Every structure is written in C-alpha cells, then in structure tokens.
Structure 1
Amino acid sequence: MSPLSKRQFLKTLVGTTTLSAGLWAGLEETLAKAAHLPSAALAQQEDFWAKIRAAYPVTTDFIQLENGYYSLAAQPVLDSYLQHIRDVNTVSSYYMRTRQFTDKRESQKQLANLLGCSSDELIITRNTTESLDTVIAGLNWKAGDEVIMAEQDYGAMLDMFKLQARRHGIVNRTVSLPNHPKSDEEIVSLYEKTITPKTRLLMVCHMVNITGQILPIRQIAEMTHKHGVEVMVDGAHAFGQLAFSIADLGGCDYYASSLHKWLGTPLGAGILYVRQDKISALWPLFADSSVADDDIRKLNHTGTHPVATDLAIQDAIRFHNGIGIERKEARLRYLQHYWTDQVRNHPNIVLNTPEALARSCAIANVGVAGKTPAELAKTLFEKYKIFTVSIDSANVHGVRVTPHLYTTTAELDTFVRALKELAG
C-alpha cells in the first residue's frame, strides 16, 4: 500500500476523523468525571445521560420509543462510518483486494472479545435472521427430525422452520411462553416436556423480542444438552444490552445477534457464533472451495459487500466500551422500570413483561383495556407524538416500548401521562 493510502486507512481504522474528534473527546471527559460512581447510582443521574444523549442525532419530531428495531448510531460513529465510505471509495477495488479481509478480521476479533469467544467461532453477517437461517439451512435434516421453539419467537425464524418442514419433512413443536413466569424452573420444564427421542434442535430467545422477557438460557441449555439436543439462541436484543459472555450461556451451540440494535452500528451487521466442534457439520449457504470444512469462514462467503459497515463496527465498539456494558444495562433497566412501575397497578393497563428486575431490561410491552394494539399505537403517535409498535399475537396484546440511552425521563413522563389518559 502506498504511504498516502496507508496513512489514510490507519486514520480510518482508529475512528479519529477530524469531524468527530471533538465528540469523542467530550464523551471521554464526561465518562472520566463519572468513573467513581457505581452503575446503579449513575443510572439515575439525568445530567450525565443528557450529555450522552447529546452524542446522538435524536429527532425532535416525535418521541422515539421503538429503538428495539433499529437504534441510532451515535454521531461520532456515524461520522466515522461516512468517512469510511469516502476512504474506501477513494481507492475502490484496490482496498477491496488488499485490505478488505484483514480489516474485517479485526472487527471480527473485537466482536469475539465482546462475546467472550474465539474469533475462529464467530463471523460477521448482515443481521440475526441471516445468522440463524445459516444454521437452520445448514443442518443435515432428515424426515422426522423434531425442532422445539416458542410461538413468541421471531416470525422470520418460525417461517424458516416451516420451510424446512416442507422441504425436508421435519416436525416443528411449539411451546407458548408465559408472560409472567413464576420461576426459571417453570420455563425450563416447559421446554423439557416437549423433548422426545427425535428432537434434534431447540431454538430459544435470549430476550423475547415482543415482550422483553429474559429467559434462563444457561439452565435451558444445560437441560437440553442432557437430552443430547443442540441449542440455538436468538440473541437479537441481548448482545450490547446485557452484560454476559458466551460462557454464561451453558455451552449453547449457536448464538446470533444484530449489531444495529444495541451495539449501535449502522444498518447491515450481525454476528453468528458457532461452537468450534459444530462448524464442520454445517453446510454453507454459498459455496467457497477455498475454506476448509472446519473453518467458520466457510459460512461467510458474502460476495462484494458494503465494507464501510464492517469498519464502523470498530467505532461502535469503541463508543460502547467507553460507556461500559454494566452502565448501559443499568440505565436501560432503570428507564424501563421508571415508566412501568408507574402504571403496573393501574386497573385498565396491562403489562406483558415480567416485573422482576432480572427478567427484563430495556424492552417492555403494554396494553390498554378497550383498545387494540394497533389503535393504541396509532393514538400514541397521532395524539401524543410517541412512536411505538403494536404487537397482537402469541398471547401478547399491546405496544412494544423500547427506550435507549438517549431517552430522557421527561419523555417517559409524557408517555406515562398518555397511557393514564387513554386508560381513563
């Protein structure tokens, strides 16, 4: 690489573009001043989080409470991402043929470090759906093989299993999760009672996307493995929101997440973890004869890809690590309980999310008596300028509410007032 282009890309990789240097410095100063505060105490310091909010390009047109689908990239991350696009465009195919895979490997290593796994067990995908579909379509199914899942699982994954049933003759067995479980044992038992000698795979959400309920993954995985069944975890909403490592999950075989939800990358990045001893048996979706069967890269043949997204992962990780996952989780849980605790006992308001602190974090789901979820979401937006999403299936009838680090308690006060007015 020529001296000019080398300097250019070294500058890009560390995310210190001139445009965002001041924002990075301001964030570091804010964090340094709060370094002595425990996460639980800091979670309630509105002045601190107001400074964090200032690092995001938050709209003033409405109150954004649907951050679970796609959350904002912080402004310094966005600035760096745009600079990556410019830098790659400057040398175009030269970059693609000389630096692309080395740089992606670095992003992969940093993600593996966050998850607590080997970089040889993780690939960068486009999203959770692609990651889980890679596993589902890559297994050697035989007619009669059984799979266990919950009706509250993500619809795209349920559809993928229906496709395998049509194509290979597998049998899909579905449980229904209680919105308010009495114990971890209740959830574990629900899954265990569905296992038969023909069960091949169990899919489970780390955090249920429509209610925010956190499931006891370690206990489920350990129980499932005792029966000789593999475990695939949909972690779309957990990675970047909860403090955990892959070792905390009971040796799950497959784990997937999206990075545009809670890690704050631009759209187009996800992860797939495959336990080392499970790689060889998976068939790739797209052939790549240059990679060995036991190399996870065989599952990652993407063709020409928008590489600026992969580069921006490193900037998002830098921002994420600057705040710290413990602080992040504490603030998100605080925000959820800030509003749910105010309406949980209202006679005309129904919360579809468990009350116990350990069973949820940022996401919650709420319904109002006499209003369909669609009506509630429509009224919240048109009358109060509050954006949510309606959920009306799988024993969950309400709107999903997802604050983020840039959400203020004043915005949640507005939301609580709106709910109480609508509930009568």
Structure 2
Amino acid sequence: MAIPRRHLFATMGALASVAGATSACAATPRTELASMTLPQGKDPAQTAADESFWKSVAQQYTLTDDFVNLENGYYGIMPDPVRRAFHNNVDRLNEQNSHLLRKTYKPESEQIRERIASLVGARTEEIALTQSGTEALQNLISGYNQLHPGDSVMYADLDYPDMVDAMDWLRDRRGVEVVPIALPEPATQQAVLDTYAAALRNHPTVKLLLLSHVNNRTGLATPAREIIAMARAHGVDVILDAAHSWGQLDFTINDLDADFAGFSLHKWIGAPLGTGFLYIRRTRLDAIDRTFADESHPETDIRSRVVSGTRDVAGMLSVPTALDFHQALGSTVKQARLRYLRDRWVSAVADRTDIQILTPQEPSMYGAITSFRIAGRTSKEDNEAIAKYLFDKHRIFTVAREGPARGSCVRVTPALFTTLDHVDRFGSALRETADRFRT
C-alpha cells in the first residue's frame, strides 16, 4: 500500500524538522538528516532507474571498498543519520544510566510504538517492541495457546530455521503433530496457492500455520493475504513471519489481514541491530499467553507477551531516525528500486539454462532477495564453494543457503546503496562462475 503523497517529504532535512518533536532522539543534540531530494514528476518505476538520485542515497551510507556487498539480507546497514543517532543514544544511555531507563525511556518507547503502529497500519495497543523478529515470532509461537493433543501445526521448507525449530518444539510442548511441506519450484503464485490449498485440505487436523511473507532462503514473496484467508476458512490460525518484508515490500498489516505477525526493524528499515516488534490483533490477544506469566503489565496489555530483561535501549531510541529515512524515500519507491536491481542481474543471466533462478518473474513474488542454483550443484558444500569463489575471484559477497527441498542455493541481496555497476559486475561474474562449476 503506497504512502499517500502528502506524507512524503521533499528532503530529509524537512522531514527531520517535522519529526523532531516526536523523535526519541529529541532529548539530545540531534544530527540533522542530510538533504536527499526525491526526483520531481517521476513515478516510482522512473525513480527506481534514476541513477543520479540513487547515487545521492548511497552517499548516506558509510561502506567498505574491499568488496561488493550483495549479502544485505542478514541485516541492513544503517544509513549515516541513523548511525549517528545510535552513537548519540549510546552516549546518552551511558551518561544518564538508570535514570533514562526508569524515567524517560517508557514515554519515549510509547512514542515509538505509536509511530510504528501508524506506519504499519495497526493500533498502538496491537504493537509490542522486541529485540528482533526472531524474538517476536518465538514469543508468538511458544505463547499460542489454542492447540490441543491431536492437533497439528504446519510450516514450509522455506521458513526461517529458528521458527521451524520453534514449531517443532510444539510437538513436546503442546502434544501436537508437525506437518512440513515443500513449496514448488518454480514457485509461481498459482503454484504456491495450490500447494497450500492441497496441504490444508489433506491435513484437517492442522490448527496453526507458520507463513513467511518473504523467506530468507530464496526471497520468495508469498501471496500472504490469500493464504491467510484460505487458512482461516479451514479454521487454521496463521503466524506471519514479516521480518524480511516490511521495508522491502510496500504493504500494511491491513493489506494482509493477519492476526499475528513478527517484524524486524534492523533488516529493511535500517534501524540498529536488536530492534523489532510483534503484532497481535486486539481481538486475538487471548490466543497468546503472557511470557513466563509476566506480572509487569496487565494480562490485557500486549507488552506482557514480551519479557526481555534490561535491554540496550540505544538501538530502539534510534528507530525514529530510521523511520524518518524510510519515509523520506517511501515504501513504494524502495520496493521499486530493490526490484529494479534484482531484475538487472537476473536478466543478465536469463539465457543461461544452467543458472536456475529460484523466484518467479511475477513482480508480486519477490523484492530484493533472489537466490540461484547452478544446475547439478545442490549440496551445502557446492553452494558454499560457489559463494567462496565469487568472493575470492570477483570480490563479490553472497551467502549459501540451505533448506529448499530441491537443494541448497546461493542468496543474492542488493540494498538501497547498491549501484548498477555492482549488479552488472555480479551478472558477468555469475556467468563465469557457472562455467567454472558446470557439472
């Protein structure tokens, strides 16, 4: 869902002056966000191809020259305004000590909850801040209390390993069966929908489904709204893994109609490591237990579903600056640019039948992340060797991924600072690498 034009600001500096009153950094001297003007009179697709503009965006990052970084799926590099805010907040926390934690962090964290809720299309009481998407999702999975012995839970081969482990843990915790499924290759939208439809139809005891909106293994973006509706028709609840999607794709929680979801802020929003949040629709809060019978908040407060102890809050206090940067570009423009970069390298190898691209060409089915597999190279060792060769020979950093039922692969993830030269270098390097590893 596009951010309305009235919410987009022409420059980062203008946005900073408006957001300063609500920013969690407002209590400290604030480094003004650098000017970064969106092209005038261009739609998102045209902006995505405007290299002079994206050069100005890249200048907002401090990057190494030692290699081309096409492994930005682990977490997102902070743009310089966020990095400076984070450093300021580390100093602020160290200087003010427990006074900050006991007196000022709570109201500032409430402002952060309110702002996240507004942007993601939720109510503030439906948002709880976490230290990561993993913590958010683990709390949702472990706290889900609607399962009984004889029920089943389901996940796919492309779901995140830690979440798969948590679903497996329910076998002993809740006395349920576990149903793993494999998503098809090539994973067209219709093929994915058909796979979930058949799996739900053939396993009537399933009561809980883990669904990755964008998975970390191949980058496949699932038709989440349709799958959630399908599951709901079968009496199945869905816990949505949105850790990789918010900030990479353009949507709100209402677009997906999800009841439960976990989000990361340090992947595609560009906040410091250790920031995320969970979402529970307010009418479904009772379906998730309090974490360790937490008494620090009422049972009717979503914050009782997260107990993390004493946190390093400097990262969370820097989230408003990351949201400033995110909003200055706009989610539609970010999505368009990331898809543009992905399409550039994929098209450079489209004639090679020995290079298998593991996301389809349907734009709704991918964002920045896309994995490839060289024909016949399906083992973990094969793909680690391919990633190593790309780095050693071409100084391009990618990462091998396990998990897909048909074999391991190599993940390629550009970012907002990635240039066309970087992805063009990768396209040429991949052709040479496929020749080298041809079976």
**SS of residue in 1 equivalent to 2:408:** strand
- Could you tell me which residue of structure 2 aligns to residue 181 of structure 1? 187
**d(CA) in 2 for partners of 1:182 and 1:94?**
53
Pick aligned residue for 1:381 from 382, 391, 401: 391
- Could you tell me which residue of structure 1 aligns to residue 234 of structure 2? 227
**d(CA) in 2 for partners of 1:16 and 1:97?**
15
- Taking a change above 3 Å as real, the CA distance of residues 99 and 18 of structure 1, as seen in their structure-2 partners, is closer
**SS of residue in 1 equivalent to 2:211:** strand
Pick aligned residue for 1:217 from 210, 224, 248: 224
Q: Residue 392 of structure 1: CA displacement?
A: 3.6
- Could you tell me which residue of structure 1 aligns to residue 52 of structure 2? 47
**d(CA) in 1 for partners of 2:89 and 2:424?**
39
Amino acid across the alignment from 1:204: L
Amino acid across the alignment from 2:303: R
Q: Residue 187 of structure 1: CA displacement?
A: 2.0
1:78 to 2:78 alignment: no
- Taking a change above 3 Å as real, the CA distance of residues 91 and 14 of structure 1, as seen in their structure-2 partners, is closer
Q: Is the 8 A contact 1:150 1:174 kept in 2?
A: yes
- Could you tell me which residue of structure 1 aligns to residue 13 of structure 2? none
1:407 to 2:405 alignment: no
1:26 to 2:35 alignment: yes
Q: Residue 20 of structure 1: CA displacement?
A: 3.4
- Could you tell me which residue of structure 1 aligns to residue 248 of structure 2? 241
**d(CA) in 2 for partners of 1:341 and 1:16?**
48
Amino acid across the alignment from 2:245: A
**d(CA) in 1 for partners of 2:25 and 2:105?**
16
- Could you tell me which residue of structure 2 aligns to residue 332 of structure 1? 338
| Paired residues, number | 408
TM-score, length basis structure 1: 0.92
Q: Is the 8 A contact 1:210 1:396 kept in 2?
A: no
Pick aligned residue for 1:98 from 85, 103, 108: 103
Pick aligned residue for 2:92 from 87, 93, 110: 87
Q: Residue 217 of structure 1: CA displacement?
A: 0.8
- Taking a change above 3 Å as real, the CA distance of residues 248 and 368 of structure 1, as seen in their structure-2 partners, is same
- Taking a change above 3 Å as real, the CA distance of residues 344 and 145 of structure 1, as seen in their structure-2 partners, is same
Pick aligned residue for 1:202 from 188, 199, 209: 209
- Could you tell me which residue of structure 1 aligns to residue 409 of structure 2? 398
Q: Is the 8 A contact 2:358 2:370 kept in 1?
A: yes
**SS of residue in 2 equivalent to 1:193:** helix
Q: Is the 8 A contact 1:353 1:360 kept in 2?
A: yes
Q: Percent identity?
A: 35
**SS of residue in 1 equivalent to 2:293:** coil
Q: Residue 407 of structure 1: CA displacement?
A: 0.4
Pick aligned residue for 2:274 from 268, 274, 278: 268
Matches within 5 A, 1:335-350: 335-350=341-356
**d(CA) in 2 for partners of 1:26 and 1:38?**
20
Q: Residue 16 of structure 1: CA displacement?
A: 9.7
**d(CA) in 1 for partners of 2:173 and 2:25?**
46
Amino acid across the alignment from 1:237: H
Structure 1 gaps, min length 5: 1-8
**SS of residue in 1 equivalent to 2:334:** helix
- Could you tell me which residue of structure 2 aligns to residue 4 of structure 1? none
**SS of residue in 2 equivalent to 1:164:** helix
Q: Residue 226 of structure 1: CA displacement?
A: 1.1
Q: Residue 345 of structure 1: CA displacement?
A: 2.2
Q: Is the 8 A contact 1:13 1:311 kept in 2?
A: yes
Q: Is the 8 A contact 2:151 2:177 kept in 1?
A: yes
**d(CA) in 1 for partners of 2:89 and 2:182?**
45
1:120 to 2:129 alignment: no
Q: How big is the alpha-carbon RMSD for the aligned residues of Structure 1 and Structure 2?
A: 1.9
Q: Is the 8 A contact 1:279 1:293 kept in 2?
A: no
**d(CA) in 2 for partners of 1:16 and 1:330?**
35
- Taking a change above 3 Å as real, the CA distance of residues 409 and 167 of structure 1, as seen in their structure-2 partners, is same
- Could you tell me which residue of structure 2 aligns to residue 416 of structure 1? 427
Amino acid across the alignment from 1:284: R
Q: Is the 8 A contact 1:55 1:74 kept in 2?
A: yes
Q: Residue 416 of structure 1: CA displacement?
A: 1.0
Amino acid across the alignment from 1:81: F
Q: What CA deviation, in whole Å up to 9, does each residue of 1:38-71 have, x standing for no partner?
A: 1100101111101100000111111100101111
Amino acid across the alignment from 1:421: E
**d(CA) in 2 for partners of 1:363 and 1:383?**
22
Q: Is the 8 A contact 1:136 1:160 kept in 2?
A: yes
Q: Is the 8 A contact 1:63 1:411 kept in 2?
A: yes
**d(CA) in 2 for partners of 1:303 and 1:10?**
28
**d(CA) in 1 for partners of 2:149 and 2:292?**
23
Q: Is the 8 A contact 2:368 2:414 kept in 1?
A: yes
Structure 2 gaps, min length 5: 1-19
Q: Is the 8 A contact 1:342 1:416 kept in 2?
A: yes
**SS of residue in 2 equivalent to 1:326:** helix
Q: Is the 8 A contact 2:187 2:358 kept in 1?
A: no
Q: Residue 166 of structure 1: CA displacement?
A: 2.5
Q: Is the 8 A contact 1:151 1:174 kept in 2?
A: yes
**d(CA) in 1 for partners of 2:170 and 2:286?**
20
**d(CA) in 1 for partners of 2:85 and 2:233?**
47
Q: Residue 17 of structure 1: CA displacement?
A: 6.9
